[in-house]
Amino acid sequence: MNIGFIGLGIMGTPMAANLVRAGHTVVGYDVSTTRLDELAELGAKAAASIGEAVSQAHVVITMLPDSPQVEEVVFGEGGVLEYAPAGLLLIDMSTIRPETSRRVAQAAAVKGVHAIDAPVSGGEKGAVDGTLSIMIGGRTEDVESAREILRVLGTTIVHVGPAGAGQTVKAANQLVVGGVYALVAEAIVLLEASGVDPKAGLDVLAGGLAGSRILELKRHSMIERSFQPGFRIDLHHKDMGIATAAAREAGVALPMTALVAQLIAAARAQGHGALDHSALLKVIERINS
């Protein structure tokens, strides 16, 4: 299939490579020309403009930093909707605001373009290995027609609702992940301040109702204060901005989410943006020292 791929960053590049490897014809575009140069090695073609990446495509995938870039690439002058052939399937896999995804889907429909939102979790490793989890919002027929391609990129592929729903589920995921890190951080600080061995303590927690994937994977590295990413605080900060905005758009107050967002913002303000999100522990420690 002819696939236009826009946004060839940390995630987009290995995803595009996997699509090439699966036999698809991939035409890539990125504002950064250095990234385009890498494309040839992948066996993909470099487009000089969005139009070039889009006009012959059956499917366009976007993997961009945030809502404003998606708006620009999709709605902007010389953007996707200007060049989209009728019947194009547009899969936005960026993590952005649900409300933006809904507006993309509506504007696309007007032009006869089928748009779905399909944000991912699993990180760079998942992108490289083709084992991402993909949460999809959109119309059922569009989601079905995307499955073949998405199966190249990920292993868990779930249709969770109408346009924007993929983003909302991703936002919900990130608020829970951030929150669990903050709770584990507070548990560690309490144990250590009380003279209790945190390793023994967290082992007990991990084995019971307090157990979680985070405790399983990260309790040892957290206790050792090893915060190599993994998933960076900067990205989680962006995602908490989306979660907060999504709550606001949905008209709901979420006090835990709001507090988690502040703690992650604090991690960033303290200069830990490039560390793993488990570095929330540094924030709880700093509050107390």
Ligand X SMILES: NC(=O)C1=CN([C@@H]2O[C@H](COP(=O)(O)OP(=O)(O)OC[C@H]3O[C@@H](n4cnc5c(N)ncnc54)[C@H](OP(=O)(O)O)[C@@H]3O)[C@@H](O)[C@H]2O)C=CC1
Contacts to its own copies from residues 105-134, by CB under 8 A: 121-122, 133
Please state, in angstroms and rounded to a whole number, the distance separating the CA atoms of residues 232 and 244. Answer: 18
237-266 mask for ligand X (x: CB under 6 A)?
-x----------------------------
Q: Are 131 and 155 in contact (CB under 8 A)?
A: yes
Minimum CB distance to its own copies, residue 232 (Å): 14
Site for its own copies, residues 157 to 186, rule: CB under 8 A? 158-162, 164-165, 168-169, 171-173, 175-177, 179-180, 182-184, 186
Position 82 contacts ligand X (CB under 6 A): no
The residue within the footprint of ligand X, chosen from 19, 231, 233, 261 (CB under 6 A), is 231
Buried b (16+ CB within 10 A) or exposed e, 172-199: bbbbbbbbbbbbbbbbbbebeeeeeebe
Contact partner at residue 173 from its own copies, ligand X, none, CB < 5 to 8 Å by partner kind: its own copies
Partner residues linked to 120 by β-bridges? 134
β 132-137/120-121 pair status: antiparallel
The residue within the footprint of ligand X, chosen from 73, 171, 233, 283 (CB under 6 A), is 73
Q: Are 38 and 57 in contact (CB under 8 A)?
A: no
Q: Does the annotation count 170 as an active-site position?
A: yes
Site for ligand X, residues 195 to 224, rule: CB under 6 A? none
Buried b (16+ CB within 10 A) or exposed e, 249-265: eeeeebeebeebbebbb
Site for ligand X, residues 116 to 145, rule: CB under 6 A? 120-121, 123-124
203-242 mask for its own copies (x: CB under 8 A)?
xxx-xxxxxxxx--x-----------------------x-
Q: Are 78 and 135 in contact (CB under 8 A)?
A: no
Pick from 222, 102, 121, 220: which is nearest to 172 by CA?
Answer: 121
Contact partner at residue 65 from ligand X, its own copies, none, CB < 5 to 8 Å by partner kind: ligand X
